[in-house]
Amino acid sequence: MPIKWSALRVKEAMDEVELQLTCAQPFLDQAVAKVQEARRIPNLAGYMDDRLARVEFDIRERLNRIKGGIQSVRKAIPEGAIEAERESTKHGSQQSLI
């Protein structure tokens, strides 16, 4: 059964999101490095280290969660839907009469 939404546009959107994450990766790595640097401050109180460790964890975990979400979206696209859409639009698009 054909889908009514554009699998190709969803795939392209996820490609763009992934590209943005790739661009953001160096900044996120720098943020983690700054947090790690702060954790090495001499005589840092344990409660501050705990909070800084949480910030570091959150940065890494949220990025991983987003990447997992992108993969989940890609896996949910019905098999063959992108290829079928490319094939159907190869010779131009035509609106359905129904």
Average pLDDT, the chain: 92
- Total-model pTM: 0.78
The DSSP result for 18-70, as a single string, is HHHHHHHHHHHHHHHHHHHHHHTSTT--HHHHHHHHHHHHHHHHHHHHHHHHH
Give pLDDT, residue 95.
57
Give pLDDT, residue 48.
98
Per-residue pLDDT tens digits for 9-38: 999 999 999 999 999 999 999 999 999 999
